[in-house]
Structure 1
Amino acid sequence: MPPSSSSSSAVARHTSGLETSWQRCASAYNLDPAQGWVADVLSGAEFRYLSARSGLLLRAATGEMRRLFSLVQGLGLMVLLADANAMILARAVDSTHVPVSRRMHLQKGAIWDEAVAGTNGVGTAVRECRPIFLGQGEHWRYCFSLLASYAVPLFDAQGGVVGALNLAALNGNSTRPLAPLVMEMLLQSGRRIEEALFRDCHVGQSILTLGTAEGCSSPLVSINGCGEVTGATRAARALIGWTDDKIAERPKLLHELEAGEAMSFQKAEESVVRSALVASGGDVMAAARSLGISRATLYRKMRAFGVT
């Protein structure tokens, strides 16, 4: 069995995938935890070819990586960005940590697929499609015993896994007392990258939120001038039950929400109304037009939700 997770409930939620990852390492991958491992690192030409496929992700994430690194640099953490195959695309690291990170192959072009590296931050995050925290001794391989990892999957505009964002520490459990705070910062960064990818995919569309983000993905939808849904993030798809085929039918957003009986749908509808009003600068007519409803209907909804 893997080591026990932290007593902190916030950290425990993000170690829930650890046991299944360890089981895969033992049963599916047949990896010996005591065996040393060196990552495959792509050549310059190979890296340029494969990283070009992640151009949208790199553009969306570069600024956020810099911002995140400025917040965690004093904690001895480096920032790593990987693609959906757990290949490291970019990193932000303090110059004093460059030599040791190079020895551990925490560098561009290194492949950290879980099937070969064992349980690790980016490899397990893209495999599990959920956040993961690995403290001292929680990586599968003993050679990573002093490596601590915080990782979240990143989702593209269609809700698919496009990569992972990772904060890595080379000094064991020094950051563990701050693990809930560090993880929350990382989740927020991941959601900002997702939103940037989503907005880039739906330029000129209205982007509305269905409520507060509670995981790796924000519940965002894009709608056209007729109030029809043209896209939805992973969280929005999960909330409403939308598929690519359903979105291709261009459903009316408020009609879909009104048809839902759960309280979450009522909250989502209120969030959409508030979001549309903010996006229109308080112009009720413009907000109603963007939602594909009449001004009278919008006023009725505003009264019902206590929106002034």
Structure 2
Amino acid sequence: MTQRSHADLVAEQSRSPRATSALAASWRRSMLKHGLDPADRRRPDRLTAAELAERHQAMAAFLHVAGPQIDQLYNLVGLSGCNVLLTDAQGVVLDQRVSDGDAAQFRDWGLWRGADWSEAAQGTNGIGTCLVEGRQVTIHRDEHFHTRNTAMSCMDAPIWGPDGRLLAALDVSSARADQTERYNRLIGAQVAQTARAIEALFFRSSFPQARIVVASDDHADQAVLLAVDKDDLAIGATRAARRVLGLEREGSLRPRPAADLLGRQGDLQGFDRGERAAVVRALARADGNVSAAARALGIGRATMYRRMARLGISENHG
């Protein structure tokens, strides 16, 4: 497809009210909302070294967690001429893995650290469109808005932060002319899996004193995790867990009893449930020795037995 014919097709589809696909919607945003020209051949803008360093600093903890996962992904796809990129929520490339042999090509395209690949700046592309739509996308060759980007295929997945807000995009871009859509799907699946792994690892590292609970087994393709504190209160939830459990979509989580959220209340209510948990923990720490558990709780042995009977705890519970 020639430069002009691709630009004409994008312009036609962008203005057509009959074009209702997700791709056409992205082209329309690029042209009508952001005022971009599909024939524009300018390279992406890049941040200064100082600006990039500032963004790195702001995302330092996240980048530390993500780095080993990016290495693993690159080990899987790097030899096939792929460039692995990690951006922030604004589409600026913060980290990258690429072979020396492919570096010149990707640098020429602008797929490099510090480059702005937001949809507002570059039109339809894997990184920018993934971030706008908050979902996994593949933009294959002439699906890109700009004609100069039609030699690449880009597979992307979003990464959500512990606060439920969009945090980053993980991208694998290929320079291979023979890249097939079937191969794109295979890479896309690996990108999505790596993005979920990074999201889960960063969530865990964000609540170092909490225990992490899988909130649902019905969503194996998502990180459905709760962070629960020592008082059995849920103090954090991943984006998927927030949606599954009907919690705040984003921002700080109002602490709630984890048992209430997970449907494990049992017959006891309120303080009785908390008291039972405290007694059971004391018995477990004392290896079932009632006298030792009572001393640990600061109560007498007789009182301990009365509480155990009321709470339905057998003497050999420990």
Q: Which moved more, 1:44-53 or 1:190-199?
A: 44-53
Q: 2:242 corresponds to which residue?
A: 237
Which runs of 5 or more structure 1 residues have no equivalent in the other structure? 3-15, 260-284, 287-293, 298-308
- State the structure with more CA Rg: 2
Q: Describe the superposition over 1:187-212 as per-residue Cα deviations: whole angstroms up to 9, x where unpaired.
A: 11001110111011110211111225
- Per chain length, whose mean CA-contact separation is higher, i.e. which structure has more relative contact order (CA < 8 Å, sep 6+)? 1
CA contact (8 A) 2:242 2:249 kept: no
The aligned length equals 252
Per the alignment, do residues 248 and 158 of structure 1 end up closer, same or farther by CA in structure 2, a change over 3 Å counting? closer
CA contact (8 A) 2:237 2:253 kept: no
Q: Describe the superposition over 1:133-164 as per-residue Cα deviations: whole angstroms up to 9, x where unpaired.
A: 01120110111111100001111111111110
Partner of 2:227: helix, strand, or coil? strand
Task: State how 1:50-65 maps to structure 2 within 5 Å.
Answer: 50-65=55-70
Partner of 1:198: helix, strand, or coil? helix
Q: 1:211 corresponds to which residue?
A: 217
Which whole-Å CA distance do the structure 1 matches of 2:171 and 2:243 have between them? Answer: 24
Q: Which moved more, 1:151-160 or 1:37-46?
A: 37-46
Shift of 1:32: 1.4
Per the alignment, do residues 86 and 169 of structure 1 end up closer, same or farther by CA in structure 2, a change over 3 Å counting? same
Shift of 1:121: 1.3
CA contact (8 A) 2:47 2:114 kept: yes
Which runs of 5 or more structure 2 residues have no equivalent in the other structure? 1-8, 11-20, 265-283, 286-307, 312-318
Partner of 1:137: helix, strand, or coil? helix
Q: Does 1:98 align with 2:98?
A: no
Which whole-Å CA distance do the structure 2 matches of 1:211 and 1:167 have between them? Answer: 29
Q: Describe the superposition over 1:29-58 as per-residue Cα deviations: whole angstroms up to 9, x where unpaired.
A: 121111212111122122112221111221
Q: 1:77 corresponds to which residue?
A: 82
% identical aligned pairs: 27
Q: 1:26 corresponds to which residue?
A: 31
Q: Which moved more, 1:229-238 or 1:241-250?
A: 241-250
Q: 1:202 corresponds to which residue?
A: 207
Select which of 180, 186, 189 maps to 1:184: 189
CA contact (8 A) 2:164 2:250 kept: no
Task: State how 1:64-213 maps to structure 2 within 5 Å.
Answer: 64-172=69-177, 174-209=179-214, 210-213=216-219
Q: 1:42 corresponds to which residue?
A: 47
CA contact (8 A) 2:233 2:255 kept: yes
Shift of 1:20: 2.2
Partner of 2:86: helix, strand, or coil? strand
Which whole-Å CA distance do the structure 1 matches of 2:62 and 2:178 have between them? Answer: 30
Q: Which moved more, 1:42-51 or 1:246-255?
A: 246-255
The TM-score with structure 1 as length reference comes to 0.75
Aligned AA for 1:111? Answer: D
Per the alignment, do residues 246 and 57 of structure 1 end up closer, same or farther by CA in structure 2, a change over 3 Å counting? closer
CA contact (8 A) 1:78 1:92 kept: yes
CA contact (8 A) 1:195 1:218 kept: yes
The TM-score with structure 2 as length reference comes to 0.73
Aligned AA for 1:83? Answer: D
CA contact (8 A) 2:165 2:251 kept: no
Q: Which moved more, 1:73-82 or 1:83-92?
A: 73-82
Which whole-Å CA distance do the structure 2 matches of 1:139 and 1:246 have between them? Answer: 33
Aligned AA for 1:219? Answer: V
